[in-house]
């Protein structure tokens, strides 16, 4: 790979519009033996609608999943040798802080913002979730508390003396991830055997949830639902855990297994993976599609106000029943997929399908998503939905400096 040493502008031609690149942009030369790896990682792919089953997810699309731009340039000699240098280490990126004032708005645009917020909360620093106006979905802190996280993480912040309306995010929160298997296997008499916790070493969905929440986003994990402030994950709830959610314990669940647990706990909700007469296994289908933002929701506003409508669905599931009182979030548009691997029948079902609901009524305090938000700890683009759903369940009083 190479890096640009100067800004470069390319005139429009018959194949594309004009393009501009800043110094420091990365250039990947396709005249090399491993160019196919770059193709797989960087290019948007196509929709295949005669797929009957997958070994693994074919949607990769690093730019959309990891929030960076990639542009194909087919102009010979567009980048002269004297404007390129070899890249032998990850580029250094710094936070962007602008303005003056006693308050600082942290833009909710990347996973780094979530890490910064959780670091501040761990330190006991008040953080507000902005509920309305220009900065809805972003975070507000005192300017004095910004310096440390701005140096540790790569964030975008704006200082101001006008503090927007916000609610305090509860600090010291612990998240419980359900779905762990018993430490040992048992025979028909109940006698335990095997290597301690061996089965959980192979419990991939549990591991992805824990890794994404703790390592990627900085949430503190609890060992049990009793110790936790909120239950979050794609795993099945035990009878006791489901009862706690039915009694109002905050919950964010995603995937058909999690939604089924809430259905069995008494909420009139369902999530389907059916493809005609053939029930599909989770993982058979996936799609990178666009959603509509029909509800005013703190869970979705950070994406909605920036026009970021991409949404990844691993499994191809959809909400097929939702309570009338639930806020309906993230319906898939009828537009062609950015990428997709489904049968033609399932594509038509998936278009227009409901992907998430907010159930804050009659004692329920839950947000449910039809598909995974942490698949293989890879889909970083959806993490801000997950973090916003968690924070929205643990808000306290009004934020003030």
- What the block records as the tokens of 206 is 């549990």
- What the block records as the tokens of 400 is 């003030």
Give the domain ranges of the chain. Answer: 2-86, 96-169, 174-395
**Range name among 47-56, 200-209, 215-224, 297-306 with the lowest pLDDT average:** 47-56
In words, the CATH class of domain 174-395 is: alpha beta
Dihedral of alpha carbons 34, 15, 70, 44, sign: negative
CA 157 to chain centre: 21
In the predicted model, what is the mean pLDDT of residues 215-230? 97
Residue 173: DSSP 8-state: -
The owner of tokens 């799609």 is 287
Dihedral pair phi/psi, residue 233, rounded to 5°:
160, 180
Task: Tell me the per-residue pLDDT of 270-297, one tens digit each, with 9 for 90 and over.
Answer: 987 654 444 444 457 889 999 999 888 9
What is the pTM for the complete model shown?
0.92
Residue 113's pLDDT is: 98
> What is the number of other CB atoms lying within 10 angstroms of the CB of residue 280?
21
Task: Please report how the helices 383-393 and 111-122 are oriented relative to each other, as an axis angle in degrees rounded to 10.
Answer: 30
Report the half-sphere exposure of 289 (CA within 13 A, side-chain side).
31
**pLDDT at 123 exceeding the cut of 90:** yes
Could you give the CA distance from residue 21 to residue 68 in angstroms, rounded to a whole number? 13
Question: 47 with 337: CB under 8 angstroms?
Answer: yes
Residue 47's pLDDT is: 81
Mean predicted lDDT score pLDDT of the chain: 91
In CATH terms, the fold of domain 96-169 is: Alpha-Beta Plaits (3.30.70)
Q: Do domains 96-169 and 174-395 have the same CATH topology?
A: no
Radius of gyration of the chain, Cα coordinates, nearest whole angstrom:
23
Could you give the CA distance from residue 16 to residue 240 in angstroms, rounded to a whole number? 58
Q: Which of 248, 173, 232, 239 is nearest to 368 (CA)?
A: 232
In the predicted model, what is the mean pLDDT of residues 354-360? 96
Task: Tell me the per-residue pLDDT of 63-75, one tens digit each, with 9 for 90 and over.
Answer: 888 888 898 898 8
Residue 343: DSSP 8-state: B
Task: Calculate what percentage of the chain has a pLDDT beyond 90.
Answer: 69
């Amino acid at each position: 790979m190479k890096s640009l040493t100067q800004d470069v502008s390319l005139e429009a031609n018959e194949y594309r519009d004009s393009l501009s690149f800043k110094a420091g942009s990365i250039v990947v030369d396709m005249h090399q033996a491993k160019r196919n790896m770059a193709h797989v990682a960087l290019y948007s792919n196509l929709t295949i609608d005669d797929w009957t089953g997958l070994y693994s997810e074919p949607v990769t699309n690093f730019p959309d999943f990891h929030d960076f731009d990639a542009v194909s340039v087919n102009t010979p000699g567009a980048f002269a040798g004297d404007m390129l240098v070899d890249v032998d280490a990850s580029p250094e990126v710094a936070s962007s802080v602008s303005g003056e004032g006693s308050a600082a708005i942290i833009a909710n645009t990347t996973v780094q913002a979530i890490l910064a917020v959780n670091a501040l909360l761990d330190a006991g620093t008040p953080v507000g979730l902005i509920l309305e106006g220009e900065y809805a979905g972003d975070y507000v802190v005192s300017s004095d508390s910004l310096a440390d996280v701005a140096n540790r993480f790569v964030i975008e912040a704006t200082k101001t003396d006008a503090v927007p309306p916000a609610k305090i995010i509860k600090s010291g929160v612990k998240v419980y991830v359900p779905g762990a298997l018993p430490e040992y296997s048992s025979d028909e008499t109940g006698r335990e055997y095997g290597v301690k916790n061996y089965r959980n070493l192979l419990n991939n969905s549990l591991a992805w949830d824990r890794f994404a929440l703790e390592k990627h986003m900085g949430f503190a994990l609890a060992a049990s639902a009793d110790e936790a402030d909120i239950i979050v994950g794609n795993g099945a709830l035990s009878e006791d855990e489901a009862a706690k959610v039915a009694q109002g314990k905050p919950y964010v669940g995603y995937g058909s297994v999690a939604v089924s647990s809430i259905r069995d706990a008494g909420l009139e909700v369902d999530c389907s993976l059916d493809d005609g007469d053939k029930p599909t296994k989770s993982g058979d289908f996936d799609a990178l599609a666009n959603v509509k933002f029909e509800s005013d929701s703190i869970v979705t506003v950070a994406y909605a106000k920036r026009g970021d409508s991409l949404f990844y669905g691993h499994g191809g599931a959809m909400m097929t029943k939702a309570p009338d009182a639930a806020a309906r979030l993230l319906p898939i548009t009828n537009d062609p997929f950015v990428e997709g691997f489904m049968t033609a029948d399932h594509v038509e079902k998936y278009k227009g399908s409901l992907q998430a609901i907010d159930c804050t009524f009659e004692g329920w305090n839950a947000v449910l998503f039809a598909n995974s938000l942490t698949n293989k700890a890879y889909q970083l683009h959806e993490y801000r939905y997950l973090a916003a759903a968690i924070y929205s369940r643990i808000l306290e009083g009004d934020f003030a400096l």
